[in-house]
């Protein structure tokens, strides 16, 4: 894809069509590269770095020597075993909208739309504003999946263009948040309260990591905090270990290698705590 010089672009790494888990209805989810957090359970580690990356899978390599040990974007196109993979691409607002618009019929029949995820889409706020405006102009429902780690000024730029925030919450305890995500949650909680006070539509998303975020202490603290927040529903997201190979290819340490998925009984138990507090609660999504 050729892009004009000096034209505004965003860096994304995937466009997932027919998604049923990133907001209401049938959705197209656009994954942005770049994230300010380093959650040790993240299932999209390829989103950490905003730049385009090249990875090498030793297990796929057939030692044909076509790349001659040089693994970059050009050699990825010649690799017969697909052992060299390029993660990410620069894309213009117009080209991205063209991809989103292809599924407009599905959005209209299912009350769906487009979700901007990542990574953290607010890290590319200028590009995000432009694509949100384009979707708004064409009556496409927009959702932004955010960790909340952005300036208030960034939220102010995009609020009027966003129909729904999918707002991630991990911990209330700041020390635990820093330990497991590498960042304070002070700004995250401040932004959530700010959005809540403006009565913007919010779905809270809570990843349940066994022994880490699913503890009685954390669940109780989240429940009590949310009693002071205006939001529509909370989605409980069960941890899975499907991203292990991504970490290996990226050369990132797999810290939760032996962690098991949370049990169905524990999921229901946690769900009941939120339901009992009066919250609309959904497992998954």
pLDDT the model gives residue 5:
61
pLDDT the model gives residue 212:
95
Contact 171, 213 (CB under 8 A): yes
Distance CA 273, CA 215 (A): 12
pLDDT the model gives residue 285:
82
In Å, how far from its chain's centre is CA 182? 17
pLDDT the model gives residue 261:
83
DSSP H helix total and E strand total for the chain: 10, 11
pLDDT the model gives residue 6:
66
pTM of the complete model: 0.92
Q: Which sequence spans correspond to the domains of the chain?
A: 9-51+92-283, 53-87
Low-confidence ranges of the chain (pLDDT < 50): none
Contact 146, 122 (CB under 8 A): yes
Buried b (16+ CB within 10 A) or exposed e, 26-49: bbbbbbbbbbbbebbbbbbbbbbb
Looking at the domain that runs over 9-51+92-283, which CATH code has it been given?
Answer: 3.20.20.70
pLDDT the model gives residue 244:
84
Give the Å distances, CA to CA, from 6 to 49, 92, 171, 245: 22, 11, 41, 36
């Amino acid at each position: 894809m050729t892009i004009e010089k000096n034209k505004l672009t965003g860096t994304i790494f995937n466009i997932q069509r027919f998604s049923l888990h990133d907001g209401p209805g049938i959705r197209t989810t656009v994954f942005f590269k770049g994230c300010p957090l380093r959650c040790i359970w993240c299932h999209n580690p390829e989103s950490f770095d905003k730049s385009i990356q090249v990875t090498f899978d030793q297990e796929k390599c057939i030692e044909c020597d076509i790349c001659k040990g040089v693994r970059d974007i050009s050699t990825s196109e010649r690799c017969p075993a697909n052992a060299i993979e390029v993660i990410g691409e620069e894309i213009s607002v117009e080209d991205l909208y063209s991809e989103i618009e292809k599924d407009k019929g599905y959005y209209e029949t299912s009350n769906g739309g487009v979700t901007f995820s990542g990574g953290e889409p607010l890290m590319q706020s200028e590009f995000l504003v432009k694509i949100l405006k384009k979707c708004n102009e064409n009556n496409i429902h927009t959702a932004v999946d955010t960790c909340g780690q952005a300036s208030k000024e960034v939220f102010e730029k995009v609020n009027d263009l966003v129909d729904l925030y999918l707002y991630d919450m991990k911990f209330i305890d700041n020390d635990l948040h820093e330990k497991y995500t590498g960042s304070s949650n002070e700004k995250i909680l401040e932004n959530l309260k700010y959005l809540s006070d403006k009565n913007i539509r919010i779905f809270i998303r809570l990843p349940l990591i066994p022994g880490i975020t699913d503890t009685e202490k954390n669940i109780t603290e989240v429940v009590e905090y949310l009693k002071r927040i205006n939001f529509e529903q909370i989605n409980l997201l069960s941890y899975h270990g499907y991203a292990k190979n991504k970490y290996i290819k990226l050369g990132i340490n797999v810290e939760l290698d032996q962690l098991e998925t949370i049990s169905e009984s524990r999921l229901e138990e946690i769900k009941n705590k939120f339901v009992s507090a009066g919250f609309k609660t959904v497992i998954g999504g």
